Structure 1
Amino acid sequence: MVKDEEAEIEIENDEMKKFRSFKGIIKKLIFIFAVVFSLFQMYIIYFPLNTIQVRIIHLMFALVLIFILIPGIKSVKSYDRISIIDGALVLSTIFSCLYIAIESIQLSNERLGNYNNMDVVVSTIIVLLVLESTRRILGWILPIIAIAFILYAHFGNWIPGTLGNSGFSFNRIVTTLSLWTEGILGTPLGVSASYVALFIIFAVFLQQTGAGQFFIDFSLSLFGRFRGGPAKVAVVASSLFGSVSGSAVANVAGTGTLTIPLMKKSGFSKADAAGVEAVASTGGQLMPPIMGAAAFIMVEVLNVPLIYIIVAAVIPAILYYLSVFIQVDLKAVNSGLVGLEKKQLPNLKKVIIERWHLSIPLIILIYLLSVVNTSPGKAALWATIASVVVTMFSKKTRMTFKNILVALERGAYAVLEIVAVCACAGIIIGVFSLTGLGLKFSGIIIDLAQENIILLLILTMIACLIAGMGVPTVAAYLIVSVLVAPALITMGAEPIAAHMFVFYFAIISAITPPVALASYVAAGIAGSKPFITSIRAFKLGLSGFIIPFMFVFNPTLLMVGEPLEIVISIITAVLGVTLLAGTVEGYFYYLNKLSSLLRVLLLIIALSLIHPNIWTDLFGVIAIAMIFGFVWLKRSVMKTEIIN
């Protein structure tokens, strides 16, 4: 690997510190197992097994690696050896998963609903293994939620009213959750096995090629010299890096180690520097083409091509980053922050000449999805192969066979969290399906909102922010979308808009206090206080909180509608988020520092531009023109008086 990639490798190693460190033959065996896991994901694209076999073997690989690599109890001794309990969990995983894989045909046909004792035992083991693996890799929150839902299914007959159920037997619950394709082996795990894993592996390969460093250097060379340059670099680099990583935390770690120190040097406080990076990195999951696992699950739920979701996400992502970029620029102007010296910046021409080819795999991916209409799994596979091939164009980027094996290993490790989340979320969704809770809850929330869609959207936003506080985006999206998205659709929202709304706020929860994971990671890099950082990040991303409401009321922002309508909506939305950024920052171009009255006026104008109505748009344009005209006239009069 080239020297430019050393920083990326260090970051990846930091992320792997939660894993055990082995030596000798055990280390080699784990390495081989991880590589085989990644190769299995590639193999099934062209040589598929039956649905249950694909999902259960995918789960088996992940659970085995989790139990081997992540200790159940954190202690110094637990990080260099496998305990007897871990060994038992590994053997239980292999036995149970292979049992279901081998018996899959009979379980789906002859024994469907008439399971024997061994089926029940294996089902129970699978549920327990999923809960324990999720606890190890994510902590207690999601497993506790899953356990609560299991208890709800069993003791539902004790609950009065609409939310109650008939109370299901233990055997019925565990077999439904483990053996049917509506529980652990349901859609989330199916999406993970079919193509999310491959997209994650592709992202790892792309980072291993040095593409991440190319994105950072490209952003530095373009924006580093301008006022507040390092912060603008963070915004642009994070949007590019995030389009590949699909994870807010990984994005912070990938770009923050460079951009945060640069921001601090240019005059940003520790908390502001960390806040900018957290907000910029969080938006990475909104940026196509990868967007994280939740986007792929949305594809299955809505039964639409992946390119449909990618196209729908483009304008909201651009609006999000535009609002952050403008607010950063306004802060730089207001605070007198300057850019970096030219000698500190990479040469743009040199960066492009030496590394432009590293962006080819992304172009190939988008081409295969949009033009050729290739399946997501095949597109990701060929893009991964392309990421290796393009490195051969230059000695500085060339991947060796060892580099390829390391990328396969790290790709397998990067998949583990998603598999655990999808499997555990499958328990929750399985209970929804078994008890009919989703439909019941949708009816209740519609009544609670009194058929007011604005109130329902606010309740949905709050639910997403709370759900996303302690769990990954995909889990928050799955839980809230099952409970609330049907209600939004019933009340008139476009299906794509309803699910994008939930998806958007599940992502934004990463910068929302009190638990803001992206902000806390950025604070660790900057050396700032986590809670203060999360407050700064929340303020910086505040104008972005309006964007989901915009596309629910105006689906043309999701590319739904006539071209002219889409163009007009984009123009008014850009004006709206620009004014919102100024309102939040308390400073705006030409108007300079804003009085309280002017901030309120700009807020009203911004909201009128955001509202999808020709008359409110005209009001907004005329009002902002009048304000600028009044300020210009006032300054002209003052200038004349001074001259006289």
Structure 2
Amino acid sequence: MSKQEATRAELDKKAQELLEEQESEARMRTYQGPLAKIIIALLCIWAAFQVYFTTIGVISAINLRAMHCIFLLLFTFLLFPSYKKEKRLRSLPPVWDILLIFLSVGSFGYLILNYERIAMTGGRIDTHEILIAGAALLVVFEAARRASGNLAILALIFLGYNWFGEFLPGYLGHNGFTLKRVLITQFWGTQGVLGTGIGVSATYIFLFVLFGAYLKYSGFSKFINDFSLTLVGQTPGGPAKVAVLASGLMGMINGSAVANVATTGTITIPLMKQTGYKKEFAGAVEAVASTGGQFCPPIMGAVGFVMAEFLGISYTKVMLAAIVPALLYYVGLLMAVHFEAMRLGLSGLSKENIPDAMKVVKKQGHLVIPLVMLIGLMFAGYTPLYAAVFSIFGTIAASWLRKETRMTPKIILDATVEGAKGAISVGVCCVIIGVIIGTVTLTSMGLNMGYLILNIVDNNNIYLTGFFVMVMSTILGMGVPGVAAYVIVQAVAVPVLIDAGVLPLTSHLFCLIYACLSNITPPVAISAYVASGIAGSDQTKTGLWAMRLGIIGFIIPFFFLDNPVLLVGVDANATTAASLWAVFTALLGTAGLVAGLEGWFVERCSLWERAVLIVLAPLLLYPGLLTDAVGIAVFAALAVWQLMRRSKTE
């Protein structure tokens, strides 16, 4: 083994260890003997069940969700260890996990058989059915403890609020509820564990995680990396720009910032360090790029489809609205990488290390067909679920266009198994989120939080309200996958903004962005910390660098909060020309802010020039003719000043 291969293997091992610390699905058990084959067969049966009943099959929503829960709990207790140091290689699961599986199947199976009868009686349940609901909640919490960790603790706090909330004063208090009432809401109703969260998991999340696995096994990720190299590999700081493009595109598909950092980061971070970037900077670039994929169209890590469902609008509207925030986020990151490379005098990769663009497109370009197919089908009016299923089969068909990328039956099996496994962790998160949403619904917590914040904020100041909601969304999103984080914030934080007068779609995007950015927000900046481990850098410094590089993501939502002209198609009064002009000035503002922070514009900036650029940025980011005129004038004057100064020194 060469030195380079040994280093890569060591980094892969380290990344896997870091992923296991932060992502429970990386800690799965492995089985030997007959049970290993049985589990593979069960995962394939689950995938077939989900594909069939979310497209052409007929099943009631509650039965689909309950069956999805049974599969999730079954695989959680089979695959996820009950404690960290448990032996991973096994022939059989522990006895207690077998008992938990029987309890899971029994409780949710009983619900499937008796739900219609109980619903017909207006929710009247017997004593033994209260016990069944309690048992179901216990297995759900145990599954969540293994698969989601901190989220289970948060859900437990919310569950406790059903009882201790009556002792709290003011808007935070309520009248209190009996155990029976809470259990009916959480298990027998459609507002708890079988509510919105599991509904999202049973449809959009499963299919798009499966689609992402098929894309990965078709070689799409390699195509993205090679194509990114051909675009920006030779430019100053090329490897960092490749990391931004490749990680952003892959993060958009798989929807997990942490997993994306652990996989692509083992390639991109060492390349950035070799180019001359500081290790903290290299780790931060990877973390920020992977995080942004969760709100980047056209797939948005499946969040966009969920948002469209909640809002009752077409996905096209959500996708169009998210384009500009995502564009500004990634343009800001690319500029930061470029300005830092110019400031440090870094070059790009040599030509011999860059693949030929035409060869890349010729050999691998057909792998983009499923993505084009997905978008095309949705624009043609098909539902995202149908589009996803067609695109999964389209991925197989596209891979057969060239021998080198052809998906064999074994590869298809591996993709199916990995896709199903990948849906377990986020699915369990969605189940336990049902406890949070059930509590919010039963106690009117969402409305009370809104009243509390609006009562604190004088004169309904929309920006101060936005600040409180930003903090709330960031906290609720910490350590939670993007889709799951969004499901939480839409129930708790979004109503606060809507009550303050913000448009619904704007409110949802505002909260989504901050929930996703919790991945790079200390003290729980999980993506940044995993990247830090791969880079061998200081965690705190990497987290702070990540916040700095992703600064546009933290700022831009406040600029579309009261004036949604930056969100395409949201402001009915905005003309196309006004929207394009707002985007143009926002791009200038992004460039000014990043240049001021990095200390490089046309050339190296003095302290006063950096200050001017940072002050200038809000004028250009805010949509308004007067602010635009002042901002552009100062921006142009500073550019001319630096050009003249550079010409004198050359």
In the superposition, the TM-score normalised over structure 1's length comes to: 0.94
**What is the match of residue 562 of structure 2?**
553
| Match for residue 108 of structure 1 among 96, 116, 119 | 119
**What is the match of residue 365 of structure 2?**
356
Give the deviation of 1:357 after TM superposition: 0.7
**What is the match of residue 504 of structure 1?**
513
Any conservation in 1 of the 2:251–2:301 contact (CA below 8 Å)? Answer: no
Letter in 1 for 2:585: T
Identity %: 39
Distance (Å, rounded) in 2 between the aligned partners of 1:417 and 1:212: 22
Letter in 1 for 2:618: L
Distance (Å, rounded) in 2 between the aligned partners of 1:437 and 1:568: 41
Within 5 Å, which residues of 2 pair with 1:185-200? 185-200=194-209
Any conservation in 1 of the 2:619–2:630 contact (CA below 8 Å)? Answer: yes
Give the deviation of 1:607 after TM superposition: 0.5
| Match for residue 405 of structure 1 among 389, 409, 413 | 413
Given the alignment of the two structures, is residue 249 of structure 1 paired with residue 262 of structure 2, yes or no? no
Give the deviation of 1:220 after TM superposition: 1.0
Within 5 Å, which residues of 2 pair with 1:478-489? 478-489=487-498
**What is the match of residue 145 of structure 1?**
154
Q: Over residues 204-238 of structure 1, what are the superposed CA-to-partner deviations in whole Å (9 max), with x where a residue is unaligned? A: 11111010111001101221111100001011111
- What's the secondary structure of 2:205's corresponding residue? helix
Letter in 2 for 1:423: V
Given the alignment of the two structures, is residue 334 of structure 1 paired with residue 343 of structure 2, yes or no? yes
| Match for residue 226 of structure 1 among 206, 228, 235 | 235
Give the deviation of 1:632 after TM superposition: 4.7
Any conservation in 2 of the 1:150–1:431 contact (CA below 8 Å)? Answer: yes
Given the alignment of the two structures, is residue 325 of structure 1 paired with residue 334 of structure 2, yes or no? yes
Given the alignment of the two structures, is residue 569 of structure 1 paired with residue 582 of structure 2, yes or no? yes
**What is the match of residue 439 of structure 2?**
431
Distance (Å, rounded) in 1 between the aligned partners of 2:641 and 2:94: 75
| Match for residue 627 of structure 2 among 616, 620, 628 | 616
Any conservation in 2 of the 1:509–1:516 contact (CA below 8 Å)? Answer: yes
| Match for residue 89 of structure 1 among 100, 106, 111 | 100
CA RMSD of aligned residues (A): 2.2
* Higher mean C-alpha deviation, range 168-177 or range 480-489: 480-489
Gaps of 5+ in 2: 1-7
CA spacing shift, 1:224–1:393, aligned 2, 3 Å: same
Distance (Å, rounded) in 2 between the aligned partners of 1:494 and 1:513: 29
**What is the match of residue 466 of structure 2?**
457
Within 5 Å, which residues of 2 pair with 1:141-540? 141-370=150-379, 372-450=380-458, 451-540=460-549
Letter in 2 for 1:48: V
**What is the match of residue 625 of structure 1?**
636
- What's the secondary structure of 1:115's corresponding residue? coil
- What's the secondary structure of 1:546's corresponding residue? helix
**What is the match of residue 617 of structure 2?**
606
- What's the secondary structure of 2:403's corresponding residue? coil
| Match for residue 75 of structure 2 among 65, 68, 73 | 65
Any conservation in 2 of the 1:576–1:605 contact (CA below 8 Å)? Answer: yes
Q: Over residues 12-53 of structure 1, what are the superposed CA-to-partner deviations in whole Å (9 max), with x where a residue is unaligned? A: 997764010110101011111111111111010211310110
Distance (Å, rounded) in 2 between the aligned partners of 1:157 and 1:552: 34
Any conservation in 2 of the 1:68–1:82 contact (CA below 8 Å)? Answer: yes
Distance (Å, rounded) in 1 between the aligned partners of 2:619 and 2:331: 19
Give the deviation of 1:571 after TM superposition: 0.5
Distance (Å, rounded) in 2 between the aligned partners of 1:359 and 1:108: 47
Distance (Å, rounded) in 2 between the aligned partners of 1:97 and 1:9: 39
Give the deviation of 1:634 after TM superposition: 5.8
Gaps of 5+ in 1: 1-5
Q: Over residues 599-618 of structure 1, what are the superposed CA-to-partner deviations in whole Å (9 max), with x where a residue is unaligned? A: 22212221111111111111
**What is the match of residue 3 of structure 1?**
none
Distance (Å, rounded) in 1 between the aligned partners of 2:342 and 2:396: 43
CA spacing shift, 1:632–1:227, aligned 2, 3 Å: closer
Letter in 2 for 1:576: G
Letter in 1 for 2:345: G
Any conservation in 1 of the 2:44–2:417 contact (CA below 8 Å)? Answer: yes
CA spacing shift, 1:434–1:635, aligned 2, 3 Å: closer
Any conservation in 1 of the 2:528–2:542 contact (CA below 8 Å)? Answer: yes
- What's the secondary structure of 2:270's corresponding residue? helix
Distance (Å, rounded) in 1 between the aligned partners of 2:61 and 2:445: 26
**What is the match of residue 131 of structure 2?**
121
Any conservation in 1 of the 2:469–2:496 contact (CA below 8 Å)? Answer: no
Give the deviation of 1:627 after TM superposition: 2.5
* Higher mean C-alpha deviation, range 382-391 or range 307-316: 307-316
| Match for residue 585 of structure 1 among 583, 587, 598 | 598
CA spacing shift, 1:632–1:265, aligned 2, 3 Å: closer
CA spacing shift, 1:231–1:97, aligned 2, 3 Å: same
Q: Over residues 414-440 of structure 1, what are the superposed CA-to-partner deviations in whole Å (9 max), with x where a residue is unaligned? A: 111221111111111101111111111
Distance (Å, rounded) in 2 between the aligned partners of 1:545 and 1:162: 29
Letter in 2 for 1:609: L
| Match for residue 52 of structure 1 among 62, 68, 71 | 62
- What's the secondary structure of 2:172's corresponding residue? coil
Letter in 2 for 1:167: G
CA spacing shift, 1:635–1:77, aligned 2, 3 Å: closer
Distance (Å, rounded) in 2 between the aligned partners of 1:541 and 1:453: 23
Letter in 2 for 1:548: P
* Higher mean C-alpha deviation, range 446-455 or range 627-636: 627-636
* Higher mean C-alpha deviation, range 27-36 or range 240-249: 240-249
Aligned length: 629
CA spacing shift, 1:584–1:553, aligned 2, 3 Å: farther
**What is the match of residue 3 of structure 2?**
none
- What's the secondary structure of 2:31's corresponding residue? coil
Distance (Å, rounded) in 1 between the aligned partners of 2:164 and 2:274: 59
Given the alignment of the two structures, is residue 35 of structure 1 paired with residue 44 of structure 2, yes or no? yes
